[in-house]
């Protein structure tokens, strides 16, 4: 159920307010271009600066608009265990298909603290949980052994691995087996990650190139290595330019060029510099996105 090209949705703003109309249209754009799943309320969706009611609203909108056509994996993580439980229970009641829960940032919990954090969420909800391991942002790195302990719990089903370490994918596969869902959080390693047991990507680039990203994942998961590698190579410069400034700044500028939303982001993020915009436009033209 959770595989292929899964878009970590940006959150459109207009005049610093949630642009619900653009968000609904954007989700339709994703579905019509073959995206296999969507994640509202993740880091790419600027979750750190969303008001609590906005965070809930985008989950509700994603569930309503998708209407069962593709899975909705709601971003419900927090460095407060209580808040993560509340938001995950809300997502469950809103009929999201799963929750994506980031390792607690800033607190720097031990491996036992990580285990107890996820166990508390697991014990208070009935929705599948995907661990989001991203030490580059959260400062803590969940070990393979801790992940294996969590996989024994009823709701823990897999990981979004944003470590950038391909050997980690191999270790997780060997430890947890085929039933453990492995999704990369790094577009630029998606080709090799799938070869090591991954089944998809929670993607930033698919905001901008959903059809190409979904086609790549289809070829990759169907064993059509030649076509998968061809598409991956075409996408590689896009993957890199999506991080020429802080995510989701490049993605939002790209989507403004596609007339799908404003480029607005919330402080402390700011819109892209002219130099970055030139780089982004050049790659979008090169890949025939604009």
| Degrees, nearest 5: CA angle 85-86-89 | 85
Verify whether residue 173 is a known catalytic residue. Answer: no
Q: Are 202 and 42 in contact (CB under 8 A)?
A: yes
Written as six digits, the tokens of 128 are 């599948």
Look at phi and psi of residue 70 and say left if phi exceeds 0, alpha if psi is from -120 to 50, else beta.
beta
Query: Which member of 57, 160, 252, 277 is catalytic?
Result: 160
Written as six digits, the tokens of 22 are 């653009």
Query: Which member of 115, 132, 191, 253 is catalytic?
Result: 132
Verify whether residue 25 is a known catalytic residue. Answer: no
Question: Listing from the earlier edge strand, what are the strands of the sheet with 37-39?
Answer: 37-39, 4-8, 200-203, 181-184, 156-161, 129-133, 98-102, 73-75
| 179 vs 70: CA distance, rounded Å | 20
Calculate the CA dihedral of residues 200, 206, 210, 213 and round it to 10 degrees. Answer: -40
| 23 vs 9: CA distance, rounded Å | 9
Written as six digits, the tokens of 191 are 């080709």
Q: Which residues of 42-70 are buried (b: 16+ CB within 10 A; e: fewer)?
A: bbbbbbeebeeebbbbbbbbbbebbeeeb
Residues designated catalytic: 132, 160
């Amino acid at each position: 159920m959770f595989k292929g090209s899964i878009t970590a949705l940006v959150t459109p703003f207009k005049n610093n307010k949630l642009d619900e109309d653009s968000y609904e249209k954007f989700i339709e754009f994703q579905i019509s271009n073959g995206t296999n799943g969507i994640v509202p309320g993740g880091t790419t969706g600027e979750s750190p600066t969303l008001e609590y009611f906005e965070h809930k609203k985008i989950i509700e909108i994603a569930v309503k608009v998708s209407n069962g056509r593709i899975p909705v994996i709601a971003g419900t993580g927090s460095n407060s265990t209580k808040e993560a439980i509340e938001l995950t229970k809300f997502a469950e009641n809103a009929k999201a298909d799963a929750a994506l829960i980031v390792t607690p940032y800033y607190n720097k919990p031990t491996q036992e603290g990580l285990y107890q954090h996820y166990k508390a969420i697991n014990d208070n909800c009935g929705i599948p949980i995907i661990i989001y391991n991203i030490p580059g942002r959260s400062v803590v790195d969940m070990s393979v052994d801790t992940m294996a302990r969590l996989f024994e719990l009823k709701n823990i089903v897999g990981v979004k691995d944003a470590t950038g370490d391909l050997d980690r994918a191999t270790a997780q596969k060997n430890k947890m087996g085929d039933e453990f869902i492995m999704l990369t959080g790094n577009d630029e390693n998606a080709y090799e990650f799938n070869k090591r047991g991954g089944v998809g990507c929670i993607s930033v680039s698919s905001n901008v190139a959903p059809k190409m990203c979904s086609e790549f994942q289809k070829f990759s998961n169907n064993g059509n290595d030649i076509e998968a590698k061809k598409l991956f190579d075409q996408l590689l410069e896009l993957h890199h330019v999506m991080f020429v400034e802080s995510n989701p700044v490049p993605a939002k500028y790209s989507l403004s060029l596609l007339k799908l939303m404003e480029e607005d982001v919330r402080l402390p993020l700011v819109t892209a510099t002219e130099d970055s915009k030139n780089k982004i436009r050049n790659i979008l033209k090169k890949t025939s996105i604009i």
